[in-house]
């Protein structure tokens, strides 16, 4: 099950389509969807979580709490729509495209992908691009 929660005035108008897309990503990665909660918020909300749980006093676009066990995917993905909008400007892409990238990025972490090294980051970006094309 995928749920979408809002701690800001932002909301998605295509939740069903996005839920099907994320489910197909998980399936294609040979994992099993248990439960993912997307929580859309603003910078202030996510900054508080970043300080409280990760000891990072910085702004970020996404924080995910992974409760997966093996290939059974479950977790909470917090996304700052403020940060996504700023990043979209910086990367010269639409806010929607950047939002979709961040959403699938969190799920790919749950599926076992990392992005700490240059090689890992390239593979993660390739996977993101692959799945973003499925939405087009």
Summarised one tens digit per residue, pLDDT across range 58-109 is: 999 999 999 999 999 999 999 999 999 999 999 999 999 999 999 999 999 9
**13 annotated among ligand-binding-site residues:** no
List the domain boundaries for the chain. 2-135
130 annotated ligand-binding residue: no
Antiparallel, parallel or unpaired: β 32-41 and 72-80? parallel
Fold of 2-135: Collagenase (Catalytic Domain) (3.40.390)
Buried b (16+ CB within 10 A) or exposed e, 93-128: eeeeebbbbbbbbbbbbbbebebeeeeeeeebeebb
Confidence check: pLDDT of 136 > 90: no
Q: Does residue 105 have a known ligand-binding role? A: yes
**Residue 122: predicted pLDDT:** 97
């Amino acid at each position: 099950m995928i749920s979408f929660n809002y701690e800001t005035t932002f909301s998605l108008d295509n939740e069903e389509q996005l839920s099907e897309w994320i489910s197909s990503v998980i399936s294609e990665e040979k994992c099993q969807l248990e439960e993912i909660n997307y929580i859309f918020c603003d910078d202030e909300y996510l900054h508080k979580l970043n300080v409280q749980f990760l000891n990072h006093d910085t702004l970020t676009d996404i924080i995910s709490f992974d409760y997966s066990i093996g290939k059974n995917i479950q977790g909470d993905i917090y996304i700052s729509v403020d940060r996504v909008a700023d990043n979209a400007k910086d990367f010269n892409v639409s806010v929607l495209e950047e939002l979709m990238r961040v959403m699938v990025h969190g799920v790919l972490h749950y599926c076992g992908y990392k992005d700490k090294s240059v090689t890992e980051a390239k593979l993660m970006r390739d996977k993101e691009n692959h799945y973003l094309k499925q939405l087009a």
